[in-house]
Amino acid sequence: MTDLDTFRSETRAWLETNCPPEMREPVQSEKDMCWGGRNWTFQSDAQRVWLERMVERGWTVPHWPRDYGGAGLSPAEAKVLKEEMARIGARSPLSSFGISMLGPALLKFGSDEQKKRFLPEIARGEIRWCQGYSEPGAGSDLAGLQTKAEAVSGEEGGDHWLVNGQKVWTSYADKADWIFCLVRTSSESKHSGISFLLFDMTTPGVSTKPILLISGNSPFCETFFDDVRVPKDQVVGEVNRGWDVAKYLLGHEREMIAGMGLGATDGTLGSILRPDDPFLRAEVAAFDVDALAFAAMSERFFEMFKAGEAHPASPSMMKYAGTELNKRRHELVMAAGGSDALEWDSERSSEGKAARDWLRTKANSIEGGTSEIQLNIVAKHILGLPGA
Ligand SMILES: Cc1cc2nc3c(=O)[nH]c(=O)nc-3n(C[C@H](O)[C@H](O)[C@H](O)COP(=O)(O)OP(=O)(O)OC[C@H]3O[C@@H](n4cnc5c(N)ncnc54)[C@H](O)[C@@H]3O)c2cc1C
């Protein structure tokens, strides 16, 4: 038996004993997901117990170093853990922008002090983050952002930044504890005048206003900063060099969004959708072939990405392919469901889950950078097309 076989059998045994049965059921809605943070209310005892047990083992961030709340697993061990969780249908114990986006950026660019301060809290789900990138005039052209941070040396408050401006499409800003935010600290150069700043959402001068979506949910906000004072040492990386941090984080965000292409289980549909219509059956079969190819490609790309060997444009390729696949999956679910799937709120369907999930996938090819922008990046950096 190899070390990895031993790790697999121990992991399997631990999960069998410690993952509550309720946490092995598919997630039905956002309510089933655990976002953590200082104002979090657990939906059930099982949700709390599952998070506590996984935190204790360092398995909310299995590949992070032990000093920062992880388990220090090798990529091969982390893959085994993922497979064993999938085998019993175990839910992720924590959904967190801290884990999927900010954590990797802090590990690479954060000071020792920032790592010690924030990473263990992220691993334990004690702090909920939102992402302050987009602005009304800066989405695809992100480096055009105008939210300003001025360095101020004050007699009353010591050295700090004074932040003024507006962000938009800030997911969960009204529920987040802290924000990772791009601000302009110099106007001399578009890309070299941006800094990456962390601050508490309860700081005076921060306010949020929800935006309602087509799906009926409202996870988005407009976020306003009005003379927000932020301690100087909350810049990650060098002042005016935040674009490097921003891009690195975007790679991880795109990798995470690409993962939606893998679906909830093995990503295929044939085992759950068996429409009578022969044309639809053929489409499901064609989809499943593409889904299996995507799963194989993801495995290779994600391993290269984690090992630092992937091409810088590969998250864009994966994000494009994964989000288009996820949209196709939900189109097929809707087509197979017929008029029943269009139910929104009626006797047959109280949540309108299929329709809401389908509408939500429309945003996959916008969030984290649109499909057009990903294709531009692929054209420029991989295909070497002129003018892209
Ligand atoms: C579900 C969801 C969650 C989000 N969450 C957050 C969040 O938490 N924090 C945050 O900061 N932002 C968030 N966003 C914002 C998201 O990052 C932006 O919407 C996205 O980057 C596009 O920017 P935009 O909306 O300004 O569109 P625009 O940049 O105005 O683009 C409009 C259209 O023009 C196309 N286009 C623009 N430039 C080019 C070009 N050069 N070549 C070809 N086509 C082009 C785009 O592809 C798009 O189709 C979220 C968005 C969604 C949908």
Predicted confidence at residue 27, as pLDDT, reads: 82
CA distance 47 to 123: 16
Question: Is the model's pLDDT at 4 over the cut of 90?
Answer: yes
List the Cα angle 5/6/11 in 5-degree steps: 100
CB of 379 within 6 A of ligand 1: the answer is: no
- Confidence check: pLDDT of 254 > 60: yes
Distance between CA 161 and CA 149 in Å, rounded? 6
Query: Cα-atom radius of gyration of the chain, to the nearest Å?
Result: 22
d(Cα 28, Cα 26) in Å, to the nearest integer? 6
Task: Give the mean pLDDT of 265-294.
Answer: 86
Mean per-residue pLDDT over the chain, rounded: 91
Could you tell me if the CB of 170 is within 6 A of ligand 1? yes
Report how far Cα 124 is from the mean position of its chain's Cα atoms. Answer: 17
155 pLDDT more than 70: no
**Structure tokens, 186:** 């110099």
Please say whether the beta carbons of 50 and 33 come within 8 A.
no
Percent of the chain's residues with pLDDT above 90:
72
| Per-residue pLDDT tens digits for 160-209 | 999 999 999 999 999 999 999 999 999 999 999 999 999 999 999 999 99
CA of 141 to the centre of ligand 1 (A): 8
DSSP string, 49-66: HHHHHHHHHT-SSTTS-G
Q: Which atom of ligand 1 is nearest to the CA of 171?
A: 8
Is residue 375 lining ligand 1, measured as CB closer than 6 Å?
Answer: no
For residue 388, name the pLDDT band (cuts at 50, 70, 90): low
Nearest atom in ligand 1 to 134's CA: 11
Indicate which atom in ligand 1 lies nearest the CA of residue 140: 29
Is residue 102 lining ligand 1, measured as CB closer than 6 Å?
no
Query: Could you tell me which residues come within 8 angstroms of residue 388 by beta carbon, excluding any fewer than 6 positions away?
Result: 376, 379, 380
CA of 156 to the centre of ligand 1 (A): 40
Go through 183-222 and write b for each residue having 16 or more CB atoms within 10 A of its CB, e for each that does not: bbbeeeeeeebbbbbbbebeeeebebeeeeeebeeebbbb
| Ranges 55-69, 133-147, 162-176, 288-302: which has the least confidence | 288-302
Q: From the candidates 77, 253, 255, 283, give the one annotated as an active-site residue.
A: 253
| Ligand 1: nearest atom to the Cα of 130 | 8
DSSP 3-state of 193? helix
Q: Per DSSP, which regions of the chain are E strands?
A: 129-132, 148-154, 158-167, 178-184, 194-200, 206-211, 220-231, 235-236
Question: In which band, very low, low, confident or very high, does the pLDDT at 273 lie, cut at 50, 70 and 90?
Answer: confident
Q: Which of 35, 102, 129, 134 to mutate to test the pocket of ligand 1 (most atoms within 8 A of CB)?
A: 134
215 compared with 125, residue with greater pLDDT: 125
If one residue of 224, 367, 371, 385 were mutated to test the ligand 1 pocket, choosing by the most ligand atoms within 8 A of its CB, it would be: 367
CA of 369 to the centre of ligand 1 (A): 5
Task: Give the alpha-carbon dihedral of 211, 360, 305, 181, to 10 degrees.
Answer: 0
Is 253 among the residues known to form the active site?
yes
- CB of residue 140 inside a 6 A radius of ligand 1: yes
CA angle 89, 90, 96 (to 5 degrees): 130
Spatial distance between the Cα atoms of 317 and 259, rounded to a whole number of angstroms: 12
Residue 95 carries which DSSP code?
-
pLDDT-derived band of residue 145, with 50, 70 and 90 as boundaries? very high
Q: What's the pTM value of the predicted model, to 2 decimals?
A: 0.92
Give per-residue pLDDT as tens, 325-379.
999 999 999 998 888 788 776 555 557 788 888 888 998 999 999 999 999 999 9
Give the pLDDT confidence score for residue 31 in this predicted structure.
Answer: 78
Q: Which residues contact 58 (CB under 8 A, 6 or more apart)?
A: 64, 66, 69, 70, 71, 72, 123
Question: Residue 94 is which amino acid?
Answer: L
- What is the distance in A from the centroid of ligand 1 to the CA of 138? 8
User: Does ligand 1 lie within 6 Å of residue 171's CB atom?
Assistant: yes
Ligand 1 mean position, distance from CA 3 (Å) = 45
Q: If you average pLDDT over residues 108-122, what whole number do you get?
A: 98
The Cα 143–Cα 268 span in angstroms is: 38
Position 264, amino acid: A
Question: Residue 386's pLDDT is what?
Answer: 79
Exposed, middle or buried, 39 (CB in 10 Å: 0-12/13-18/19+)? exposed
CA of 286 to the centre of ligand 1 (A): 30
Q: Whose CA is nearest to atom 23 of ligand 1?
A: 139
Instruction: Please state, in angstroms and rounded to a whole number, the distance separating the CA atoms of residues 89 and 191.
Output: 44
Structure tokens at 42: 């657990």
User: Which residue CA neighbors atom 7 of ligand 1 most closely?
Assistant: 170
Question: How does DSSP classify residue 367?
Answer: T
Least confident of 24-33, 89-98, 243-252, 263-272: 263-272
| Nearest ligand 1 atom, CA 376 | 42
* Phi, psi dihedral angles at 230 (to 5 degrees): -125, 125
Ligand 1 contact, 180 CB (< 6 A): no
Query: What's the whole-number mean pLDDT along residues 251-268?
Result: 82
Q: How far is the CA of 58 from the centre of ligand 1 (A)?
A: 34
The pLDDT of residue 347 is 53
User: Does the pLDDT value for residue 9 go beyond 60?
Assistant: yes
User: Tens of pLDDT along 193-250?
Assistant: 999 999 999 999 999 999 987 666 778 999 999 999 999 999 999 999 999 999 999 9
